[in-house]
């Protein structure tokens, strides 16, 4: 396959067209800075079954450094992660870019960082995926608190730290390897982290939304985090089993100590031993049941992922592709 000297930017969108209209000129402006070994830029907007029609208030000709804009519309809402996977599959099947950029459409992935990301990828001779690692976030203190809590949970359950999101550059020569990863259907960044594909990171500040409020509620954020963790289902299952074993052994030792104190010393208070033993037994039982249930849910995702391939779903999910050029 011949690789063209161009770049494609994949942007998943759900009803956020106002931000997209503001974002595209910023992307064009950012690309006015010279980037190594990359020529023309095309934008692929993956419309995740939006209920609001896209009304553009610009002409593509006005965007000097964007040569084409296409909208790939999905038949039903799939979520940003699956929209990204479908967009990547479309690019792989229909275009041959030197690099593919993935970024969100709300402006929080700052277009001003594009030249750094692309040039870093070029410095590796387009052999590594380059991720933007957020060193400073723009959200409020409540969100940052829960995000820190999420990162700690992720680290505890998987053994790895997550510091990256969707914002990244994929070399065209690695695109086939990326779409072969069934894990990206659940969570793009987590799937790449789990894989053995070469990758690197550069530190960037997270920008603020260009307009409006985020449409992702607290429940959706929790589900997003669970999907990221479920990519590491096997590791999570083993770690939870070990944790439950530690809890069971600890409680069993405490039960034995309680029995020893009750029958072989004069320290016991009447009735307390029974209460302690029953409490510890309930802790063991609840821990085992909770972890077995969680492991069951995780391994369901594993079985689904192992049998999944994006090309099986693509033709059923894509409605049409519109060229705005």
The Cα 119–Cα 115 span in angstroms is: 6
Structure confidence at residue 298 as a pLDDT band (50, 70, 90): low
Structure confidence at residue 199 as a pLDDT band (50, 70, 90): very high
The Cα 257–Cα 51 span in angstroms is: 63
Is residue 182 a contact partner of residue 172, using CB atoms and an 8 Å limit?
Answer: no
State the alpha helices, DSSP H only, in the chain.
17-30, 80-94, 114-123, 141-158, 175-179, 188-194, 218-230, 233-264, 272-306, 310-317
The pLDDT score that the predictor gives to residue 299 is 63
The larger pLDDT score, comparing residue 242 to residue 123, is at 123
Is residue 54 a contact partner of residue 71, using CB atoms and an 8 Å limit?
Answer: yes
Handedness of CA 289, 292, 296, 298 (dihedral sign): positive
Top-ranked range on mean pLDDT: pick from 143-147, 155-159, 302-306, 309-313:
155-159
Top-ranked range on mean pLDDT: pick from 52-61, 171-180, 266-275, 302-311:
171-180
Q: What are phi and psi of 321, to 5 degrees?
A: -125, 125
The pLDDT score that the predictor gives to residue 293 is 73
The larger pLDDT score, comparing residue 232 to residue 198, is at 198
The pLDDT score that the predictor gives to residue 65 is 87
Q: What is the average pLDDT score of the chain?
A: 85
Structure confidence at residue 311 as a pLDDT band (50, 70, 90): confident
> Residue 76 burial by CB count (10 A; 0-12/13-18/19+): exposed, middle or buried?
exposed
Is a pLDDT exceeding 70 seen at residue 308?
Answer: no
Alpha-carbon radius of gyration of the chain? 24
The larger pLDDT score, comparing residue 148 to residue 320, is at 320
Q: Nearest 5°: CA angle at 82, between 80 and 87? A: 90
Is a pLDDT exceeding 80 seen at residue 285?
Answer: yes
Is a pLDDT exceeding 80 seen at residue 84?
Answer: yes
Q: Cα–chain-centroid distance for residue 284?
A: 34
The pLDDT score that the predictor gives to residue 94 is 94
Complete edge-to-edge strand list for the sheet that includes strand 164-171: 199-205, 129-136, 164-171, 99-102, 6-13, 40-47, 68-74, 318-323
**Of 30, 26, 105, which Cα lies nearest the Cα of 58?**
26
Write down the pTM of the prediction.
0.84
The pLDDT score that the predictor gives to residue 272 is 79
The pLDDT score that the predictor gives to residue 297 is 63
């Amino acid at each position: 396959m011949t690789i063209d000297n161009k770049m494609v930017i994949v942007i998943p969108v759900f009803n956020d067209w106002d931000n997209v209209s503001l974002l595209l000129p910023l992307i064009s402006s950012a690309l006015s800075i010279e980037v190594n070994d990359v020529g023309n830029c095309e934008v692929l907007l993956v419309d995740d079954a939006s209920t609001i029609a896209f009304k553009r208030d610009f002409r593509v000709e006005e965007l000097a450094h964007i040569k084409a804009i296409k909208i790939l519309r999905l038949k039903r809402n799939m979520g940003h992660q699956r929209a990204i996977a479908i967009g990547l599959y479309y690019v792989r099947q229909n275009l041959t870019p030197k690099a593919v950029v993935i970024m969100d459409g709300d402006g929080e992935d700052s277009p001003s960082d594009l030249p750094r990301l692309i040039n870093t990828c070029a410095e590796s001779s387009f052999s590594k995926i380059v991720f933007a690692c957020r060193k400073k976030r723009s959200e409020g203190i409540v969100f940052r608190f829960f995000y820190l809590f999420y990162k700690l949970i992720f680290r505890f359950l998987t053994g790895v730290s997550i510091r990256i999101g969707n914002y990244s550059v994929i070399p065209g020569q690695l695109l086939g390897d990326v779409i072969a990863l069934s894990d990206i259907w659940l969570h793009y960044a987590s799937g790449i982290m789990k894989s053995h594909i070469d990758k690197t990171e550069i530190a960037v500040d997270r920008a603020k939304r260009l307009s409006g409020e985020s449409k992702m509620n607290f429940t959706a954020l929790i589900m997003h985090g669970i999907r990221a963790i479920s990519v590491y289902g096997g590791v999570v299952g083993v770690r939870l089993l070990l944790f439950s074993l530690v809890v069971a052994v600890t409680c069993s030792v405490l039960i034995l100590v309680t029995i020893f104190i009750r029958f072989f010393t004069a320290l016991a208070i009447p009735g307390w031993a029974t209460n302690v033993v029953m409490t510890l037994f309930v802790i063991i039982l609840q821990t085992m049941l909770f972890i077995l249930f969680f492991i069951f849910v995780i391994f369901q995702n594993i079985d689904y992922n192992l049998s999944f391939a994006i090309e099986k779903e693509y033709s059923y999910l894509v409605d049409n592709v519109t060229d705005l050029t």
